[in-house]
Amino acid sequence: MSRSLRVAVQMDPLEQVNIDGDSTFALMLEAQARGHELWVYPVSTLSLTEGQGKGGRLQARARRVEVRRVRGDHATFGEEEILPLGDTDVILMRQDPPFDMGYITATHMLEHVHGVGEGLSLVVNDPVAVRNAPEKLLVTHFPHLMPPTLVAWDPRDILAFREKHQDIIVKPLYGNGGAGIFRIKPDDENLKALLEMHFARTNEPLMIQRYEPAVRQGDKRIILVDGHPIGAINRVPATGEARSNMHVGGRAERVDLTARDKEICEAIGPYLRDHGLIFTGIDVIGDWLTEINVTSPTGLQELDRFEGINSAGLIWDAIERRYPS
């Protein structure tokens, strides 16, 4: 593609990222290598006015940025400026969950400029689809791909599920990075206390799933671009840990896609493509799909190291196809 795009990245502080592991950093490096202009801003600087026309109604306090793979010196920033987001071509919505009302509000605001054309900017991923696809709930639309699962408020339903399946995983619906996830073994006496503590703090339901012993061999993260799998990494839990997330000590290793993995991707791929979910990551344990990550998926740099590919490049290819040369 010969055209240079104006790219705004909505993210947590760039100064604090791990340049050897952060997927947003990889996307920014690739955008810059293609000649695209980069701005960065925190979601807290978004503002929406009544105004006329789409271009200037949604703004952010952004900084031009140049990035490089140099530890301790990976970004050079320009002065903060008011950036009309409708004057950009692409907005990467890359701030981390939790998927709370602040996150949801940002998707409503970005919806005002989402699209391709004058006064519009392609938001990746589509903010409407992100808002309508909480990661742990989206998977419930594919029940034939899931392990036994319950989403409920009532402790009686949760206790009945535990009675049936014995060994279970308890998850908050809108967290990330493995935070707040518990394994409750058959002889564990803490479930009622855990439920009391959770529902004393929030009125959100919990997701309960049957524990899958296959997680000891790893929780597979499959990266999809426009609904097509480009590869996977296996995240193996640390000793004494039920969670495989790399935030809590999980170890990444190379892994191939199985026939079942490909079946899962074929089943969900059309939904992802049709809803503008360009960059997604799904979690598979054994034969079961457990999550579809659409907010700020990770794993690009690990995948590149294992497979020798340019996964950020594949994502930018998909974005650039939306724009005429």
Q: Which residues are catalytic?
A: 136, 171, 221, 235, 243, 283, 291, 293
- 51 token code pair: 């105004």
- Cα 214 to Cα 44, 70, 179, 297, distances in angstroms: 40, 38, 20, 22
Contact in structure between 318 and 312 (CB atoms under 8 Å) = no
Closest CA to 7 of 70, 87, 75: 87
Distance CA 208, CA 168 (A): 7
Beta bridge partner(s), residue 206: 152, 172
Residues 6+ apart with CB under 8 A from 2: 325
Paired sense of beta strands 90-93 and 6-10, if any: parallel
| Residue written as token pair 């009686």 | 156
Sign of the CA dihedral 101, 322, 292, 27?
negative
Closest CA to 265 of 315, 215, 206, 221: 221
